[in-house]
Structure 1
Amino acid sequence: MSETAGQSDLRESYKEVKIGPKSFDIPEEWSVETIPDLCNLDTESFDASNHSEETFEYIDIESVSRGTINQSKTIPVEDTPSRAKQIISTGDILVGKVRPYLQAFAPVTEEHDGKVCSTGFAVLSAKEDVYSSYITQAILSKYFLDQMTNRMTGTSYPAVNKSDFENVRLFVPPLIEQKIIADILSTVDEQLQQIDEIIQITTTLKSAVANRLFVNGIKNNGQKSVKLGPKSVTLPNNWDVTKLTNLESPEENAVQTGPYQLGDVEFKDSGLRVYGQSNVTSDNYESVSNHISLDLEDDFSRYKIRSRDVLLTRMGTVGDASLFPDDAQPGILSYHLLRIRPDQNSCWSPYLHHLLNDGKIVMDQIKSLSHGSIMDGLNVSTLRQVRVPLPPLDEQQKIGQILDQFDKKIEEYSQSKQRLQELKNGLMQDLLTGKVRVNTDN
């Protein structure tokens, strides 16, 4: 998308058009149309009282991410949500009206034909003289998103209204060009989907291998039955079972939650980093949302994180673990995290990281000790009651190395996906505005 500097800068066979406050140069033979010009916005209504089955498949805003319907929910008819009003068909396009910046926009594939969606979506059905897949790609563009976010109203529940679509406009090339553009971008989407599937398969395989390693080990030393929390498990005969307390580094505050008093501290744009839950769940420590003044470093010294510390989420999504990397910048942990600093002479940090993150043994105990509810957060006293399987140090290292290889592969696939998504974003910007033309002669 290029904003036009002036009429003298127009390329030959291009014209200047305005969408909102912005000007664009598009090919002369392209038009600019509103959503109702291109799509029908009425869909078949769902009436639960006339539904012949005991359940139905429901798609709400949470079910949709950018370009994809992830999974529908099976809802008993007697529990029909008040927003379950629209029946969708293959080829329809769902556009989330609530918090549109989340881009809950996606086409309806055969898999979801006949399902029910929330009234939080506008359901677009392309008219006969419009290529549906082109509309799908256009609604994923930045210029469409800008129009949606500019029309949001409300603060706690920002949304657009159905009537707003009368003023949302798309660039429309001739039909043959629509098809070629959509086919090019859809090909990239298919490649992205293939990478997603590979990541999912690798993640599932890693989980299966991890749970097998944590009960069978690597060496064949016979098995013994051990009760860990609510369940009995079999472990190799030469493995110990010990409380997490016994694995702590002998230094003070080896197991530590983040500081509650951070709520009274003014955050800065720079300074000492405050690592949070998102760093652990994404296993990415390149950036943080908050910093505190370096003048407070001594006051918060007990909350500092060092290389090879194991971090655990303790609020909201409880139990995600991550190993603080060697090359991360110094910082402290937020209140939502818990730090475990193992004694490296008895417990290898990568082994503990994988045991917490990939094995079921620890999480089952945490749930049992918390009586099934950890809504208020995981605390140190609960964690110290957890018992863990502990192989000899050399076997810990081998288990950690095996699982590290899975993580390395998953990271490689994720980086490939990111590069491909960046390529697609560039193609969308060029093709959907006509900045780069496609060959329609063949």
Structure 2
Amino acid sequence: MKGYKHTELGWIPEEWECLELSHITQNERPISYGIVQTGLPVDDGIKCIRVLDIVDGKIDDQNLITTSHEISNAYKRTVLKEGDLVMALRGKIGELARATKSHEGYNLTRGVALVAPKINYDSEYLKQQISSPFFRDYLMAHLNGSALKELAINVVRRIKVPIPKNKSEQLKIAEVLSTWDKSIETLTQLIAAKQQLKKGLMQQLLTGKKRFEEFKNEKWHYNSLGDIASIRRGASPRPINNPNFFSHTGRGWIRISDVTFEKGKLLNFTSQYLSDLGASHSVKVEIGDLIMSICATIGVPKIVNIPSCIHDGFVLIRDYETSLEKEFLYHFIEFITPKLADSGQPGTQRNLNTDIVSRIQIPVLSLSEQKKIAEVLSFCDNEIIDIEKSLENCKLQKQGLMQQLLTGKKRVKV
């Protein structure tokens, strides 16, 4: 390829280098992890960054722990300066954040590594490179430990990075990708704001604290769900490991992971299917049925959108149409999900049973008011889903751009 050279990382432009991270970082401040023992919190002590303080590519300094000046001085090479990178070695493995002016003088804990680039290498460019899918895959393939997975310092030091010799090109690439990061951050914040707005509306509308004008004079009272609906627990074909119960097609076999994975009120697919024999030993649910999880992750409602079956970790709720609007009931269950999770039976994992579900107190009001409340909350849901789709699309576009820019396949004008 004209203008390109082949390296162990693939083809890169002739004007680029392929260097180990240890050659890019400062000799006097090599890649190192932080303080092993922080001791008790110290008033006016040195703040230390833990893995949990690295959040969405930034340092969250709201709840930092502290250590003494003496202990921090013993780890001088991991004292932060503006532009340094901090990298999670466990938990959020490989996640990076860039230190700002306000973080100068902070130190790190054992689970976090310092990456301090030399002056001719841009830290934001390095942050984008090491955050790319290629390097994430590399890091995950080189973990140590069995129960507690951890990234060794030597692995981090040996990471080979393709990088332009011209720092101006590094800065330009980082600027382009950082623009996408800002868009992703804006969309993420917008989703959080919309979710908070919906939460507030649920608190007002589903408790009667706020009523629509045309319904203000109508009575609002509560009734047990079991008095206005039929509730049936699911069932599993036994033994569950019998392959004759499963198939590649047929009725979906709804698992807890299916209802937690898919966002929104509808359940549109399952990762497993039952054979006719398996379905005959379970509880069938049809399109439009409302189900709720009652074990592991408790109180998650879903409106089924494919012919399926549920096991005994779910209940099927039917025959409520004369008293309840389906989407109103869905939103009310969603509203009380935290309360349901706390009311489960103790054991190896908390769970509900049909008696507990039957005793859930449901507000009984006119179907017209229920419909209007559901419309407002569903509108919020649709807004959130649309923004989430934009966010996912933005992330995919950035990922594609990273593949082009961080390998030199697409060059920027400097």
- Residue of structure 2 aligned with 1:124, choices 115, 120, 131: 115
Tell me how large the CA RMSD over aligned residues is: 3.4
Q: Structure 1: which amino acid aligns with 2:252?
A: R
In structure 1, the partner of 2:377 is: 403
Q: Kindly provide the CA deviation profile for residues 186-230 of structure 1, in whole angstroms up to 9, marking residues without a partner as x.
A: 00100111111111111111111111111225345898xxxxxxx
Q: Structure 1: which amino acid aligns with 2:378?
A: D
Shift of the 292–363 alpha-carbon distance from structure 1 to 2, 3 Å rule, reads same
In structure 1, the partner of 2:190 is: 198
Q: CA deviation at 1:435?
A: 0.2
CA distance in 2, matches of 1:292, 1:116: 54
In structure 1, the partner of 2:70 is: none
CA contact (8 A) 1:308 1:341 kept: no
Shift of the 99–243 alpha-carbon distance from structure 1 to 2, 3 Å rule, reads same
Shift of the 244–33 alpha-carbon distance from structure 1 to 2, 3 Å rule, reads same
SS in 2 for 1:259: coil
- Residue of structure 2 aligned with 1:35, choices 15, 21, 31: 21
TM-score normalised by the chain length of structure 2: 0.82
Q: Kindly provide the CA deviation profile for residues 337-361 of structure 1, in whole angstroms up to 9, marking residues without a partner as x.
A: 3433352121111101111113x5x
- Residue of structure 1 aligned with 2:226, choices 213, 220, 245: 245
Unaligned runs of 5+ in 2: 68-74
Q: Does 1:295 align with 2:277?
A: yes
SS in 2 for 1:264: coil
Counting only pairs closer than 5 Å after superposition, residues 248-327 of structure 1 correspond to structure 2 as 248-249=229-230, 254-257=231-234, 259=236, 261=238, 263-266=240-243, 270-271=248-249, 272-281=251-260, 282-283=262-263, 285-300=267-282, 302=283, 304-324=284-304
Shift of the 149–221 alpha-carbon distance from structure 1 to 2, 3 Å rule, reads closer
Q: Structure 2: which amino acid aligns with 1:297?
A: A
SS in 2 for 1:126: coil
Shift of the 378–151 alpha-carbon distance from structure 1 to 2, 3 Å rule, reads same
Comparing 182-191 with 157-166, which one deviates more in the overlay? 157-166
CA distance in 1, matches of 2:81, 2:89: 19
CA contact (8 A) 1:26 1:435 kept: yes
CA contact (8 A) 1:265 1:292 kept: no
CA contact (8 A) 1:35 1:169 kept: yes
Q: CA deviation at 1:67?
A: 3.4
SS in 1 for 2:207: helix
Shift of the 294–68 alpha-carbon distance from structure 1 to 2, 3 Å rule, reads farther
CA distance in 2, matches of 1:116, 1:195: 31
TM-score normalised by the chain length of structure 1: 0.77
Q: Structure 2: which amino acid aligns with 1:275?
A: I
Q: Does 1:416 align with 2:406?
A: no
Shift of the 76–60 alpha-carbon distance from structure 1 to 2, 3 Å rule, reads closer
Shift of the 375–63 alpha-carbon distance from structure 1 to 2, 3 Å rule, reads farther
CA contact (8 A) 2:237 2:281 kept: no
Identity of aligned residues (%): 21
Q: Does 1:218 align with 2:211?
A: yes
CA distance in 2, matches of 1:383, 1:55: 51
Q: CA deviation at 1:148?
A: 1.3
CA contact (8 A) 1:255 1:338 kept: yes
Q: Kindly provide the CA deviation profile for residues 155-201 of structure 1, in whole angstroms up to 9, marking residues without a partner as x.
A: 44333311112321110112111100000000010011111111111
Q: Does 1:425 align with 2:403?
A: no
Q: Structure 2: which amino acid aligns with 1:245?
A: G
Shift of the 337–92 alpha-carbon distance from structure 1 to 2, 3 Å rule, reads farther
Q: CA deviation at 1:46?
A: 7.3
CA contact (8 A) 2:298 2:341 kept: no
In structure 2, the partner of 1:339 is: 316
Q: CA deviation at 1:310?
A: 2.8
CA contact (8 A) 1:305 1:330 kept: yes
Shift of the 149–46 alpha-carbon distance from structure 1 to 2, 3 Å rule, reads closer
SS in 1 for 2:398: helix
SS in 1 for 2:206: helix
CA contact (8 A) 1:68 1:106 kept: yes
CA distance in 2, matches of 1:136, 1:434: 16
CA distance in 1, matches of 2:80, 2:295: 37
SS in 2 for 1:410: helix
In structure 1, the partner of 2:72 is: none
